[in-house]
Amino acid sequence: MRKELGEFMESSDYLLHADMWNLKKFPTKANVINCGLGESNLLNIAGGLASQGKTVYVYGVAGFIIHRFEQLKFSCKHFGAKKGKIIICNAGKYGYDKLGIGHSLDDDEPLMWSLNVPFFEAANLSSLKHILGIIKNKDNGMYYIQLGREK
């Protein structure tokens, strides 16, 4: 699903990832920033970019992104998402269980609901495209798309 996600992004958008995006395999027009294995910083950067009116896509292993609750709550939701969009697209709901407990999770939906963040589940490419279209037409804010692992 990364390929279609990358194709959907526009040249004015930002893609922040945690050392997980191969531009040769998943090209995009977006401005790409590899934040390495620093998910807390990644979310703070996302909040800062969004506070300037930018649309920011965050991509990383869900367990490492969503458990940065303070950054999600303050930097992203209450600071950045008031003036821009932050779209968190995870890797980790399905297909990552062999990589350990940090890569596989079952609490992303309740955590997003606790922040009052709209939660979407992309079961397939068709639903991902539909979800991205819905979010594109929504106001500024923070959104969460649960993805599975590509085969």
Residue 29: pLDDT over 80: yes
Q: Can you give the pTM of this predicted structure?
A: 0.92
Give the model's confidence band at 149: pLDDT under 50 very low, under 70 low, under 90 confident, else very high. Answer: low
What is the H or E stretch that residue 138 is in? none
Instruction: Give residue-wise pLDDT tens across range 45-59.
Output: 999 999 999 999 999
User: pLDDT, tens digit, for every residue of 74-116?
Assistant: 999 999 999 999 999 876 666 666 777 777 677 888 999 999 9
User: How many whole angstroms separate alpha carbon 115 and alpha carbon 20?
Assistant: 25
Which domains does the chain carry? 2-146 (3.40.50.970)
